[in-house]
Amino acid sequence: MESSYLKKMIEELREEIGHERVDVNIKEAIFNKRKDELIIIAPDRSDKSAIIGKGGWVAGRLKEALGVGRVHVEAYTDIILKKYRIKLSLDKIESLIKKGIFPDQLKVFRDLLQERLDKIPEFDLLEYKIEDLKGEAIVALSGGVDSSFSTIIAKNLGFEIKAVTVDPGSIILPRHVKENIKRLSKTLKIEHEYIKADFSDIIKEALEGKFHPCGRCSKRINDKILDYARDQNIKIVIFGDLLPTSSQAVNLGDDILRLNLPALLAASKQEVKRVVSQFNIRGYEVFGCPLLGEVHKKFPHLRRYSIQRILRETRAGILEPGEALTLILGLFKEL
């Protein structure tokens, strides 16, 4: 599709909607006929914003005008950063393979990263599947979109996975999250197990305003998952962390290989949501669990630490500014 034609159409749509007059810049436009998807690559984030428009109106109107199933806009600067992070992930994995650390399993991730690097932005994670089993792996499935994404990708990579969820009670793991877990486990036909855990001390002290609970809660969940892996003698554990990215997304400790899969793949929140939406996983525009919501209500000053966590992902380019703003505004809806 001609970039000049799209440029003129987008500028006209912006004028019709009432947006300010700007020069629209397009580096490349790619139409995927099979997926009925138009990918527009803008030079930078400001150009991307101009094409999407406030509230996504321009991109929405463009989709209707062209009669395509989906319009996806990427900034070339983001693609450069993503490619660089994938290269760093590849370097870390290659170094581990050379040392003879889980070579068969890590070669699976190496090949995935290499193909992703070669085909961005058209690479489709859901279409990358390996039939042969590559050994056992535990996936920490919390029921959110990030851990669901990791579970789906690990299954597609051919691992014999066991999904494990630490259950501290409904104030941290509510019913709708358990429904996500049940639905995904059934769809993927994977084994799933809950690990009961006592978080009463964290819950009590958080509700007394002594600290923001996320850090302590996350650490205890991670420790429980890793202890379970040791007990089961399973050496690969996959988490759904989006940060830290690149080489820090792969860590070896006590003979257990920990992989933060979305971070390893340099996946954005939008990409994660696109993958899990095809498995009927419900995402929520609310930051944190019910415990955190109660802490925010009782001790408003602790919201600053939640905001810091949101901004950390935004600075890394994992969250779009608009997504971050929605989450931050949600923290103050009770005020």
Please spell the DSSP secondary structure of 64-101, one letter per residue. Answer: HHHT-SEEEEEEHHHHHHHHHHHHHHHHHHHHHHHTTS
pLDDT digits 0-9 by tens, 249-272: 999 987 899 999 999 999 999 899
- How far, in Å, CA of 48 to CA of 312, rounded? 21
Task: Give the per-residue pLDDT at 321.
Answer: 84
pLDDT digits 0-9 by tens, 150-196: 999 999 999 999 999 999 999 999 999 999 999 999 999 999 999 99
Name the average pLDDT for the chain: 92
Span 81-103, average pLDDT = 95
Q: Is the pLDDT of residue 44 over 70?
A: yes
Instruction: Identify the band that residue 284 occupies on the pLDDT scale cut at 50, 70 and 90.
Output: low
Task: Give the per-residue pLDDT at 135.
Answer: 87
Angle between helices 214-232 and 200-207 (to 10 degrees): 170
Among the residue ranges 158-162, 220-224, 319-323, 328-332, the one predicted with the least confidence is 319-323
Span 213-231, average pLDDT = 95
Task: Give the per-residue pLDDT at 221.
Answer: 96
- Cβ pair 164, 147 in contact under 8 A: no
- How far, in Å, CA of 119 to CA of 127, rounded? 12
Span 199-226, average pLDDT = 96
Closest residue by Cα to residue 51 from 80, 21, 25 = 25
pTM above 0.95, yes or no: no
Q: Is the pLDDT of residue 294 over 90?
A: yes
What Cα–Cα distance (Å) separates residue 258 from each residue in 106, 108, 185, 263? 11, 15, 21, 12
- How far, in Å, CA of 106 to CA of 117, rounded? 16
pLDDT digits 0-9 by tens, 226-240: 999 999 999 999 999
Task: Give the per-residue pLDDT at 292.
Answer: 95
Any residues with CB less than 8 A from the CB of 130 and at least 6 apart, and which? 108, 156, 157, 158
Share of the chain above pLDDT 70, in %: 98
Task: Give the per-residue pLDDT at 334.
Answer: 54
Span 122-141, average pLDDT = 88
- How far, in Å, CA of 235 to CA of 82, rounded? 28
Task: Give the per-residue pLDDT at 1.
Answer: 62
- How far, in Å, CA of 273 to CA of 125, rounded? 12
170: which DSSP letter? T
Going 198 to 201 to 207 to 211, the CA torsion angle's sign is negative
Cα 315–Cα 316–Cα 318 angle in degrees, nearest 5? 110
Span 315-335, average pLDDT = 83
Q: Is the pLDDT of residue 282 over 80?
A: no
Residue with tokens 């042969």: 132
Q: Which two tokens stand for residue 17?
A: 């909607």
Q: What is the CA radius of gyration of the chain?
A: 21
Instruction: Identify the band that residue 105 occupies on the pLDDT scale cut at 50, 70 and 90.
Output: very high
Q: Is the pLDDT of residue 148 over 80?
A: yes
Half-sphere exposure of 322 (CA within 13 A, CB side): 9
Buried b (16+ CB within 10 A) or exposed e, 104-134: ebbebbbebbeebbeeebeeebeeeeeeeeb
Helix (H, G, I), strand (E, B) or coil at 198: coil
Share of the chain above pLDDT 90, in %: 79
Domains of the chain as residue ranges with CATH: 3-77 (3.30.300.20), 86-277 (3.40.50.620), 290-330 (no CATH)
| Residue 172: strand pairing partners | none
Q: Which two tokens stand for residue 21?
A: 């007059």
Q: Is the pLDDT of residue 300 over 80?
A: yes
Reported residue count of the chain is 335
Closest residue by Cα to residue 104 from 218, 257, 253, 233 = 257
Task: Give the per-residue pLDDT at 97.
Answer: 96
Among the residue ranges 19-28, 217-226, 314-323, the one predicted with the least confidence is 314-323
What Cα–Cα distance (Å) separates residue 233 from each residue in 161, 256, 257? 13, 9, 12
Span 30-49, average pLDDT = 92
